[in-house]
Chains A and B, each alone.
Chain A
């Protein structure tokens, strides 16, 4: 088991290296002078020189790559071209709302999607199943920024129950913090709930066709027990897998949701950086999000051992 965990940990290292190289290569392999690209059309020679210097673009490419990795290992993501503030510090200041949003969404998803999937799997093709499937197609298809605006329109503008946009840190009072998170979490959960409910449903249906479920029926176990005790535990591996993979779409969703609801999180930061052509910030955030994705999936891989003894031995 220890060797399994160690193997998983080590196997995510090359993926991280690939990510780091790809992100490094994006800027350097772009046709034309990267500094000119970053500075924009009406940049002065001074500005160009400054960018070159701060990104060390005049060095040979291998030296640049080495510097890039050395800085990464030291936890240095460079500085903003605009403000000169270290990217790591900017991330620290903006991480709060994003964590709150992500944690809220993941909890809502697990609490809503898994029961939905179970209910649907009980009678494939039945009324409840078709409702769940329809909801999940809807969740997939309606973009977050559409859902977001519809929610704002209904609950903030028409009904006036909740504030339109904005964010308050939890220190300013829990209710005003939570109040402003309700709509963003709902909007962001749509896709994720759809994804997890679907996989829960289909894995349980698949498990229900297995021989050992027949054995359980032959024992005289009631359906409820078969579903919750035998089927759900065996379906756990694909379910946690999709929760891990779904982190990718969650990250995209975070960027969009924060824009729609004006949450000052990391997603907003990316968009601000894009609009300001602040490349070191963009690159630092992409790296952060990608590593988060890789690490969460590593945790998921290790979680398999909890659910499946065949991996453990």
Chain B
């Protein structure tokens, strides 16, 4: 791999021809001759889709590979002048926290649940310094202050479960940076967080980096994050480095086809102008409420008002996006509409008929007009049942003969771009993207008027995501189905939705045509969401910055 001229300063870390293989089996290497270097104060982003080997590379540097599964097979990792691959375990242990440290993806599980947060930060000092107890405590409290946690004394005495995800990630950053290491490895540190929290954490990492002149290796799948924070970018695919370059050069003029594809698959935050639809409504929701009650012992039952007074109308052929952060109630709206939850109040009208006024049998007939596609394609198909049987389950429930249903299943397979032979197979024989297509096809078997897609592309890599989005777009054109599209991702919403409802704390805060809501948001909350979206100054499809920023 040829690399552009490295910065003049001495790099903190140099990875050369690193290869990592599986301990068992003679498969191709998981990481294959990967090389890059990072200078002090520099941020290098490693991007790639799942299975690209980016995390394995990071863990190799830290010496945290699961030794029973993966093992470095070649190359060197030089931290300063020291080759980490050849260092004794005891030496590596000493280097962690003092010279290099790591922040992980899942802040919810990265902290020991039975120990106070303060003690967990102090442990680093206990292990690597000669400080006495009082001094350790002092230093820890100061560090908590540095990462802008409110009331350090209280946080110090808290257990992890008492803190939010963002607060926990700040604590993990404290642990990583309290000894001012030369290198910080951040492995998708914001992927599990909401956009607004993500932005705060990214700002914090940047701030700490400037303060300590740290070299940062940032692993991510999100081009938006890359556009915001990277100095240089390493693109990985199937364990190899595809391209290494400065951020500007990668985003403006990627040389490799894969990089081009990866970048251009990132949907724009600016929605295309769409013709307003003039079709009849297929689904109307009026004043929907959902309150979850949990009985508690000796205390009044706790109430969570998940959805409050939500009204919406979905038209034929329309894709209506419901956007919000986690806990906003968007999924509960979806589940109430498909009948997986019983609404506390409100009415749902499907094709002109009121659901709550219908009898049991009529209700069942009406429910078939609303079908759902779930988030996780790996769990929404029964692994023991052949695709064909899964496909015809719906129609046979409503009395269609098996053979007729099978024939229809074959047609729908073709519609979603899979061979008819797929019907004889089991789910494990398909990739995530293919499974999601199958789920779409299965939902269409009942000829629904409404398709509810709950985060249906969130678990997919961006290139596959684009294919499924295209499929949904085609399907509504061809079948006229109205799609209720639940997502946390503003880019996805902008890419596909005709109109958008923004939810926060169970309420709709703003709604309207996509180009209105996203391009000229009126509510402060929507603006905040929009401003937190990473990479919003960049138009990835056209490899250029967005001029005259609209937000």
Interface residues of A (CB under 8 A from B): 3, 6-7, 210-212, 214-222, 230, 233-234, 307-310, 313
Contact = CB atoms under 8 A, between A and B. Distances in A.
Contacts of B96: 217-220
B93 interface: yes
Interface in B149-195: 159, 161-162, 172, 175-176
B102 A218 contact: yes
B104 interface: yes
B109 A219 contact: no
A11 B175 CA distance: 41
The 6 closest A-B pairs by CB, nearest first: A220-B96, A211-B109, A309-B159, A212-B112, A7-B297, A218-B102
Interface string B84-116: 000000000111111001101010011111110
29 contacts: A6-B297, A6-B298, A7-B297, A210-B109, A211-B104, A211-B106, A212-B112, A216-B123, A217-B64, A218-B64, A218-B96, A218-B104, A219-B97, A219-B123, A219-B127, A219-B175, A220-B94, A220-B98, A221-B123, A221-B127, A222-B93, A234-B113, A234-B114, A308-B114, A309-B161, A310-B113, A310-B161, A313-B161, A313-B162
Contacts of A218: 62, 64, 96-97, 101-102, 104, 176
B413 interface: no
B124 interface: yes
A212 B110 contact: yes
Nearest to B162: A313
Contacts of B8: none
A309 B64 contact: no
B128 interface: yes
B94 A215 contact: no
Given A7-B297, A211-B104, A216 B112 contact: yes
B278 interface: no
A7 B102 CA distance: 42
B9 interface: no
Contacts of B101: 218-219
B109 A212 contact: yes
A216 B128 CA distance: 13
A240 B102 CA distance: 34
A233 B114 contact: yes
Nearest to A125: B68
B384 interface: no
Nearest to A220: B96
B173 to A, nearest CB: 12
Most buried by A among B94, B106, B115: B115
A3 B297 contact: yes
B299 interface: yes
Nearest to B298: A3
A220 B111 contact: no
A7 B111 CA distance: 29
Contacts of B162: 313
Given A7-B297, A219-B123, A219-B127, A307 B114 contact: yes
Nearest to A313: B162
Contacts of B298: 3, 6-7
B64 A214 contact: yes
Contacts of A210: 109
Contacts of A234: 112-114
